[in-house]
Amino acid sequence: MRIGLHICRGNWSKQEEVLLKGDYARLLPALQPMQIDQFVLEYATPRAGDIDVVGKHLADRELGLGVVNPRTDEVEPVEYIVAKAEKALEYYRPDQLFLNTDCGFGCFASRSVNVEEVAFQKLCAIVEAAKILRSRFG
């Protein structure tokens, strides 16, 4: 059985300034000893800091890399997603890296954070970026 841990910085508002911010450095003492196969972390938002923080300390595990922000209406360009992944690939092997959303598109059953069409377009951008990355890195 594989074990993963997802860390969400807040998914209750589309106002980025009210959500949690800061890199993962302060969490490293708790994360490093965990018997976890995969960390799923937000990196689409600048509030999460730089990938270098976890790349230097947690690259012995898999990374679910957040590459799209479910709280924004703008669809991230495929090139942006590819660039985020390529930066992570400085620390992680291709078989350790998974492209994810930051959290999910809905935080409550009765209230989605984004509309279905935007969520669909963001997921399509992830798929296109994954195709490009697979062609480059296998």
The per-residue pLDDT for 10 is: 66
The per-residue pLDDT for 110 is: 62
- Collapsed DSSP state (helix, strand, coil) of residue 44: coil
Tell me what the pLDDT averaged over the chain comes to.
88
Indicate whether this model's pTM tops 0.85: yes
CATH code (residue 131): 3.20.20.210
- CA distance linking residue 12 with residue 18, whole number of Å: 9
- CA distance linking residue 103 with residue 43, whole number of Å: 10
The structural domain count of the chain equals 1
The per-residue pLDDT for 108 is: 60
Is the pLDDT assigned to residue 47 strictly greater than 90?
A: no
Top-confidence residue, 20 or 60 = 60
Is the pLDDT assigned to residue 12 strictly greater than 80?
A: no
- Whether the Cβ atoms of residue 41 and residue 64 lie closer than 8 Å to each other: yes
The per-residue pLDDT for 116 is: 85
- The arithmetic mean of pLDDT across residues 28-54, rounded, is 92
- CA distance linking residue 21 with residue 28, whole number of Å: 15
- CA distance linking residue 28 with residue 15, whole number of Å: 27
Confidence of residue 13 (pLDDT cuts 50, 70, 90): low
* Residue 114 amino acid letter: N
Structural domain that includes position 65: 4-137
The per-residue pLDDT for 114 is: 76
